[in-house]
Amino acid sequence: MNSAKLNTIAGAVLFVLLVTMGLGILSDIIFASDDPDKPGYEIVIADTGSEDVTEGEVMEPEVEPIGLRLANASAEDGEKLVRACASCHDFSKGGPNKVGPELWGVVGRHPGSVEDFRYSGAMQEYGENTEAWAYENLDVFLTAPKQLVPGTSMGYAGMRKPGDRADLIAYLRTLSDDPMPLPEAAE
């Protein structure tokens, strides 16, 4: 190879490096961003007017009692919500257990009592200390299963909207030959 070819190749490599560096510098100039004076966002907390709240304490919003929410609940809307549960639970009478137990007749049933289903130790312990899946404890369980039954193997994070939980519980109530009576809708 002669020196003219080597000079041409070296020149081309240097040209590409210079163009690449130049484009990097040019893009830094074009897309430059200024750092904010104060990083993050300010969270504004509304004054509750109550002096009983200590700093750092989280105020939970008031949730209507489950009896009141069930009086206005829609089992049809609850049936739509149950689609997310269908991958782990069966809802038909005498249906098979899946990853989770079948849920026919769950309202009013003793927790951890489905035959041929292997419950976690935490759910078995909860079942020993709880008489039945009543509306109140179903509502709490559906809010955050791992808070009511720490150590449960149920991987569901929970349903935050109280109205959705009431709709779902209203639908689960219909999955029975003898549905449990609704609680009184007293405020």
- Asked whether residue 86 is assigned to any structural domain, the reply reads yes
Q: Residue 147 is part of a domain; what is its CATH number?
A: 1.10.760.10
* Cα–Cα distance for residue pair 94/90, rounded to 1 Å: 9
- Asked whether residue 105 is assigned to any structural domain, the reply reads yes
Write out the chain's pLDDT in tens, 187 residues.
Answer: 788 899 999 999 999 999 999 999 999 889 888 777 777 777 777 665 555 555 555 555 688 889 899 998 999 999 999 988 999 999 999 999 999 999 999 999 999 999 899 999 999 999 999 999 999 999 999 999 999 999 998 888 899 999 999 999 999 999 999 999 988 776 5
Domain that holds residue 74: 66-174
Tokens at residue 10, please? Answer: 């070296």
- Asked whether residue 126 is assigned to any structural domain, the reply reads yes
- Asked whether residue 124 is assigned to any structural domain, the reply reads yes
- DSSP secondary structure letter of residue 96: P
- Asked whether residue 22 is assigned to any structural domain, the reply reads no
pTM of the model: 0.67
> Contact 154/176 with Cβ under 8 angstroms?
no
3-state secondary structure of 157: coil
* Cα–Cα distance for residue pair 109/175, rounded to 1 Å: 12
